[in-house]
Structures are given as structure tokens and as C-alpha cells.
Structure 1
């Protein structure tokens, strides 16, 4: 009896160890990409339950579903994203294309064009680029706007963490102009008005447009997944998922002119 019990015990132990080994091997073989979500409303932020939500987060969720490629998504400020990309500390994410960062990344898939604007406080009018030289301007840290703006030292620029801060600074009269992507600027402007925060603005001045891409660090060990993700981006657009996500956060047509009409 003792010999049978001991033998049975050993069988159970061997079976358990075998299952653990097989399970560990399966987990080790499943690659989960480390992907950033830009920490800025409405691209990526925490809801009231402390869950990550936002446009970029939902887009990555959709790409994960269509490609079957596991993604661990985390909020990161834009300035930290580029340092991490350069050092290969995470795989990639959604971010605007920038020529001076071409050596750091692999452009996996084009997402969309975005209008870049300068928006003055009420009473100021911008008719030409040269007029920007006489204004105090705020933009988000680490975000290129256009080639001329980025290389000139004649423009008086203050950098902050997110678009919410930009609009608050404009509302309080600390700066003359905010500059950046039109959609988050008008999104945060509408949010302030909804919360009964008085803010008046002038007419937008278009600086140009930029391309948003799914980008990977050149040091990523998971570049072989790019073809799957390219197909997933195409499928997401074909099925209308990207427009649906944009509409969810921006409302009628994700367009700055339409957003301005809502104010």
C-alpha cells in the first residue's frame, strides 16, 4: 500500500511539473509587443475607473484584434516615448512622422493626415507666418510642427506636457497662441466650454499637415510582425473602424472646422 501511494504521488508530481513546463514554454513563445499610447487627451488617458482609454488606445486594440499580435499598451508622455524608442526600451506605437527621427524608427503603416494649426486668443489675428514672431506660443513638449517652425529661433515658444495645459494657458492669458494638431486643440477647447470655463479664441492659422504612422523602434526585436500589422491597418480602414473611433471622441466628422462650429 505504501509503495502504491508513493508511486501515485510521484506520478502526480511528474505530471504537474510537465504541465508547468509546457505552459511556460507556450507563454514564452507568445510575443507580446510593448506599445506606447501618447499620454494626452483624447489620444490616451485614464477614465474614472483608472482604465486606459482614448483614440490611440482603441486603434491599437483594433490592430491587435485584426492581426492576432499581442500588445501590451501603456501611457507615455511624448518626450519619454522618443527616448525609449531611441534606446529600444519598447517596440513602438502611433506617432507623427518626423524627418529628424527617421534614423530611430521603421515606418510600419500610414494611419492618416492631420492639420497643424496656430490658434490665437481673441483679439489677435494671424495673417502670415512672420506674424508668429511677435507672439508668445505654447506647444506640447517634443512635438514637431513644421520644418520652418521647428528650426527657427525667432519664435518665442513654451513647451508643456499636454493639450489641456495649452488651452488653460491661453484661457488665463499666459500665452498668445497655441500650436499643434487641430483636433486635440479643438477637442480640449470644447471641453473647457462644456465645463463653463470662459475662453475666447481667434481664427486658426494653418501651419501645414503631418502624417500619423504606426512606428517601430529600429532596435525592436519584433519587426517581423510588421506585415501582419500593415494588413490589420488596411482592414481597420476598410471596415470603417478608424472613422468610428474618431467619431466617438471628436463627434461630427473628425475635422477642425466642424469642431469649431460646435463651440
Structure 2
């Protein structure tokens, strides 16, 4: 009788392990994106939209699997990735980011620009010494720029406040990703014709980072192959181009 009970117990354990393995393999993927327009935000129809949202939906369509997308503050996104509460996220790759998640695949390079109003010509790094530059709190743009104490950099809580100060001529230029600045300029009613030519400060690599604690690690290769395919066939470039003016050609 004892042997029968032991065998039955082992059988139940085996069944539970199989069910758990199946649940892990078939569970829905979850992606966390940070709440900064135009990367991820809620539109007037109360729907989540943005560059990263569009990228994830393109991946979802290509691999024929639903991916749940959650919109959260940046720090919450990082926490979710660290603790396995999200399977993957998309953000700039850095030494610090590699401690948070596995840099699985790069989807693109983003232009970091410095731009002022019309007739403010910024053609080289040396021209920055004549500027009062709005900088977003906590932003990292370029090693040389970030560490340059000789530049006059005025910190703002967000890009919107920096652009408001630019309109009032309290600052003469603002630094940030081209797509983010273009979105904020347009939102505040500033047209491209009112702006100077953007000075390209640097590029930042945007990577899909996979959680080290994800229960769906078996999906990594599938997602990586999908991203490479969507880069090669121009899908990602088509998505990104809708968030930038033609005058600001995205440099790969």
C-alpha cells in the first residue's frame, strides 16, 4: 500500500511539472514600455499608442502571437524587467542596462540633436558654448556633452517645459532625441519653419532587452529573428518615419 501511495504521489508531481512547463511555454508575452511621448502614451481616444507600441505590435503580428503591452513610468518599467514581471522592454543600451536585462537585439539608432529657433545656427559642437541649452532632468545624451561643465545647461522636469522656455527665449536651444522633440514642438504649435537646422550631437542604440527572470525565455530566438526580419524588410523604418519630419532625415 505504501509503495502504491508513493508511486501515485510521484505521478501527481510529474503531472504538475508538465502542466507548469506548458503554462510557461504557452503563456502570453508581456512587454513594458515607458510613458514618454511619442514612444508610448495615451492618445485622445484613451488608447495606448507610440513608436515602441507600434514596434511591438509589428513583432506580435509577425510571430503570430499576442503580446500584452503595459504603459508605465520608466523606473517601473526597469523594475518589472528586473523582477520578471515583464518579459521584455525597449530602451537605450548602456552598461547599466545590461545589469537589468539581456540586450537581445538592436532595432534602431536614434538621433540626439540640439536645436534652436530659426536663425540660430548650430553647426558644430563648439557652437554650443554660445547657447543656453534646455536639458531634461535625468537625461543622458552624449558622454562629452553630459560631462562638459563649460556649457550652460538649464535643467527642466520634462521636454515640454524646456520648449516653453525656448519659446520665451529663456533658453536658446534644447537637446533630446529628434522624435521626442518633434512631437513636443508639434504639440505646442511650433512648425519646422520656425526652427533652425538640428545639430546632430550623437546616436543612441535602442535595444530590445529581455528579462533575465522571464518564464518565457524560449521565445527569445523567435523575437530576435522577427526583429531582424522587420528591420530588413523596412517595416521598422516605415514606422519610425511617421514620427519624424522629412526635413529631419533619420541617420542610421
Q: Could you say which TM-score interval applies, normalised by the shorter chain? A: 0.7 to 0.9
Give me the TM-score of the superposition, normalised by structure 1: 0.71
Structure 1: distance between partners of 2:127 and 2:75: 28
- The reply on whether 1:160 has 2:152 as its aligned counterpart is no
Give me the TM-score of the superposition, normalised by structure 2: 0.74
Provide closer, same or farther for how the CA distance between residues 157 and 217 of structure 1 changes in structure 2, counting only shifts above 3 A: farther
1:2-42 superposed Cα distances (whole Å, 9 cap, x missing partner): xxxxxxxxxxxxxxxxxxxxxx9987763223312232222
Specify which of 31, 42, 45 is matched with residue 46 of structure 1. 42
1:42-83 superposed Cα distances (whole Å, 9 cap, x missing partner): 222212221101121011011112224442212223344335
Structure 2: distance between partners of 1:101 and 1:134: 34
Instruction: Flag structure 1 segments of 5+ consecutive residues without an equivalent.
Output: 1-23, 259-263
Instruction: Flag structure 2 segments of 5+ consecutive residues without an equivalent.
Output: 1-19
Say if 2:31 and 2:87, in contact at 8 Å, map to a contact too.
yes
Q: Which of these two proteins has the greater Rg computed from alpha carbons?
A: 1
Structure 2: distance between partners of 1:199 and 1:192: 14
Specify which of 164, 173, 182 is matched with residue 169 of structure 2. 173
Structure 2: distance between partners of 1:60 and 1:257: 23
- Within a 5 Å distance, the mapping from 1:12-161 to structure 2 comes to 30-122=26-118, 124-133=120-129, 135-155=131-151, 156-161=153-158
- The reply on whether 1:201 has 2:195 as its aligned counterpart is yes
Structure 2: distance between partners of 1:68 and 1:227: 14
- The reply on whether 1:245 has 2:245 as its aligned counterpart is no
The alpha carbon displacement at 1:113 in A equals 1.6
Match of 2:182 in 1: 186
1:218-254 superposed Cα distances (whole Å, 9 cap, x missing partner): 34343332111011112323443223323444364xx
Say if 1:79 and 1:141, in contact at 8 Å, map to a contact too.
no
Match of 1:256 in 2: 248
Say if 2:25 and 2:218, in contact at 8 Å, map to a contact too.
no
- CA RMSD after TM alignment: 3.4
Say if 1:36 and 1:92, in contact at 8 Å, map to a contact too.
yes
Match of 2:204 in 1: 210
Specify which of 215, 224, 235 is matched with residue 229 of structure 2. 235
Match of 2:220 in 1: 226
1:127-160 superposed Cα distances (whole Å, 9 cap, x missing partner): 5435535644333444421122233444424143
Provide closer, same or farther for how the CA distance between residues 109 and 206 of structure 1 changes in structure 2, counting only shifts above 3 A: same
